[in-house]
Amino acid sequence: MSTPALELQGLTKRYGDFTALHSMDLSIRPGEIFALLGPNGAGKTTMIGSVCGLVKKTAGTIRVFGKDLDKDPVAPRYDIGLVPQEINFDPFFSVAESLRIQLGYYGRPRDDARIDEVLTALNLQGKKDAMTRALSGGMKRRLLIAKALVHKPRLVFLDEPTAGVDVELRRDLWTYVRKLAADGTTILLTTHYLEEAEELADRVGIINEGRLLMVEDKATLLRRFGERRVVVTFEH
């Protein structure tokens, strides 16, 4: 069996007396799309933050492509890309500058060819010199993804990538996520939408109140929701 892209064992996060994650175990296979489905406050962002070094875990082990983050806290994170929920780029930089900064942050050459490549993939060609504050909401969302991908991570977290976006952009982002996975990138996305999990994921984990309640492959999940939903899902 190949080394998991991500392996969590007993991942626990407490904020004071409140436990946001209760001893979570999870193993994500290289190349799969895994959807973590759960309501507000379930612990999805806390889990992602723990892996990405934004949240200090209370207990447990995190391995990225077999490397334990307690033993090697820096190098494995170069394999990770994070698309956060919130727009987080400086409004006073151009699109290209914000991507160059990101490449520098990951110790990669500030390579314009790579910047052009990622902008084209996300339909942002022609926007290279635009100020980020001048982009439309949809373009900002695409740039957020470009920023997470420009250093070519092997494991990508998308934290509620389509929350608050219109139907057309949602479809575009879904197509892009599928393409990324087809190219071998491992994807973990969080969502509130069952439909999104069904559309994209190979496997789905249901999380609530900091507990991973179940993990199912998509076929099993679809059987649980009946024939009608299966037809809707495969119409696309």
Q: Can you give the binding site for ligand ATP, defined by CB under 6 A? A: 15, 18, 20, 38, 40-46
146: closest CA among 92, 87, 200?
A: 87
> In terms of CB distance, is 55 or 96 closer to ligand ATP?
55
Which of 56, 228 has the CB closer to ligand ATP? Answer: 56
The answer to whether 96 and 186 have CB atoms below 8 angstroms apart is no
CB 31 within 8 A of CB 50: no
For residue 80, the minimal CB distance to ligand ATP (Å) is 17
Paired tokens of 148: 């997470």
Question: Do strands 186-191 and 203-208 pair parallel, antiparallel, or not at all (unpaired)?
Answer: unpaired
What SS3 class is residue 184?
coil
Min CB(168)–ligand ATP separation in Å? 23
The distance of closest approach from Cβ of residue 15 to ligand ATP in the complex, given in angstroms and rounded to an integer, is 3
CB nearer to ligand ATP: give 42 or 80.
Answer: 42
On whether the CB atoms of residues 111 and 127 are closer than 8 A, the answer is no
Least Å from the CB of residue 113 to ligand ATP: 36
Cβ-based nearer residue to ligand ATP, 36 or 150: 36
